[in-house]
Amino acid sequence: MIWKEILIRYGELSTKGKNKKEFITRLRENIRYSFHDIAPLKIRTERDRMHIEIENQEKMDVLMEGLTKVFGIQNFSPVAVCEKDVDSIKDLAIKIMDLYKEKEITFKVEVRRSDKTFPLDSHELQREIGGHVLRNYPNISVNVKKPDVELRIEVRTDAIYMMAQIIQGAGGMPVGSNGKSLLMLSGGIDSPVAGYFLMKRGVRLEAIHFASPPYTSDNSLEKVKDLANELTKFGAKIRLHVIPFTEIQVLIKESVPENVTMTSTRRLMMRIADQVREEIGALGIVTGESLGQVASQTLESLTAINDVTNTPIIRPLIGFDKLEIIEIAEKIGTYETSILPYEDCCTIFTPANPKTKPRVDKVNYYESFTEFDELIDRAVRNREMYLFPEKKPSKDKFADLL
Ligand code: ATP
Ligand code: MG
Enumerate the β-bridge partners of residue 4.
none
Residue nearest to atom 24 of ligand 1 (CA): 186
Q: What is the mean pLDDT of residues 372-380?
A: 97
- Does residue 362 register a pLDDT over 60? yes
Residue type, 231: L
Counting ligand 1 atoms within 8 A of each CB, the residue from 183, 184, 317 with the most, and so the one to mutate, is: 184
- 65 CA distance to ligand 2 middle (Å): 31
d(CA 157, CA 361): 72
Whether residue 400 has pLDDT greater than 60:
no
pLDDT at 399: 45
Domains and CATH numbers, the chain: 3-168 (3.30.2130.30), 180-388 (3.40.50.620)
CA distances in angstroms from 55 to 36, 197, 216, 222, 355, listed in the order given: 15, 34, 49, 38, 62
Quick one: which atom of ligand 1 is closest to the CA of 224?
Answer: 28
The reported pLDDT for the residue numbered 15 is 57
User: Atom 2 in ligand 1: which residue has the minimum CA distance?
Assistant: 188
346 alpha carbon, closest ligand: 1
- C-alpha span between 98 and 85 (Å, rounded): 20
Average pLDDT over the chain, rounded to an integer:
92
d(CA 165, CA 105): 14
Give residue 73's pLDDT: 95
Contacts of 319 (CB under 8 A, 6+ apart): 290, 291
Rounded Cα distance, 260 and 358, in Å: 7
Least confident of 11-25, 38-52, 271-285, 304-318: 11-25
Nearest ligand for residue 194 CA: 1
Query: Which atom of ligand 1 lies closest to the CA of 191?
Result: 3
Using the mean position of ligand 2's atoms as its centre, give its distance from the Cα of residue 184 in Å: 10
* Residue identifier of the C-alpha nearest atom 22 of ligand 1: 186
* pLDDT at position 402: 44
pLDDT digits 0-9 by tens, 46-92? 888 999 999 999 999 999 999 999 999 999 999 999 999 999 999 99
Q: Binding residue per annotation — 36?
A: no
CA of 337 relative to ligand 1 center, distance in Å: 15
The answer to whether the CB of 197 falls within 8 A of the CB of 316 is yes
Whether ligand 1 lies within 6 angstroms of the CB of 210 is answered as: yes
User: Smallest Cα–Cα separation from 45: which of 62, 59, 27?
Assistant: 27
pLDDT tens digits along 141-186? 999 999 999 999 999 999 999 999 999 999 999 999 999 999 999 9
For the CA of 192, the closest atom of ligand 1 is: 3
Taking the model in full, what pTM does it have?
Answer: 0.87
Instruction: Name the β-bridge partners of 141.
Output: 106
CA 342–ligand 2 middle distance (angstroms): 11
Task: Tell me the CA–centroid distance for residue 191 and ligand 1, in Å.
Answer: 6
At 398 the pLDDT is: 46
- Is 163 annotated as belonging to a binding site? no
CA-to-CA dists, residue 66 to 210, 233, 325, 399, angstroms: 32, 9, 23, 30
**pLDDT band, very low/low/confident/very high, at 16 (cuts 50, 70, 90):** low
> Residue 205: nearest ligand to its CA?
1
C-alpha 171/C-alpha 74 separation (Å) is 5
187 Cα to the center of ligand 2, angstroms: 6
Whole-angstrom Cα Rg for the chain: 27
Q: What is the pLDDT of residues 225-265, one digit of tens each?
A: 999 999 998 888 999 999 999 999 999 999 999 999 999 99
Q: Tell me the pLDDT band of 392, cut-offs 50, 70 and 90.
A: low
**Range name among 22-26, 108-112, 374-378 with the lowest pLDDT average:** 22-26
Least confident of 5-14, 28-37, 49-58, 310-319: 5-14
Question: Which residue's CA is minimally distant from atom 31 of ligand 1?
Answer: 186
Structure confidence at residue 113 (pLDDT): 94
230 lines ligand 1 (CB under 6 A): no
CA torsion through residues 334, 340, 345, 348, sign: positive
Cα 289 to ligand 1 centroid, rounded to whole Å: 7
- Is there an atom of ligand 1 within 6 Å of 337 CB? no
Residue 5, beta-bridge partner list:
53, 79
Residue 295 is predicted with a pLDDT of 77
pLDDT at 396: 47
Residue 345 has pLDDT above 70, yes or no: no
Nearest ligand 1 atom to the CA of 243 is 28
For 79-123, the pLDDT digits (tens) are 999 999 999 999 999 999 999 988 899 999 999 999 999 999 999
Closest CA to 154 of 120, 97, 114: 114
pLDDT of residue 136: 96
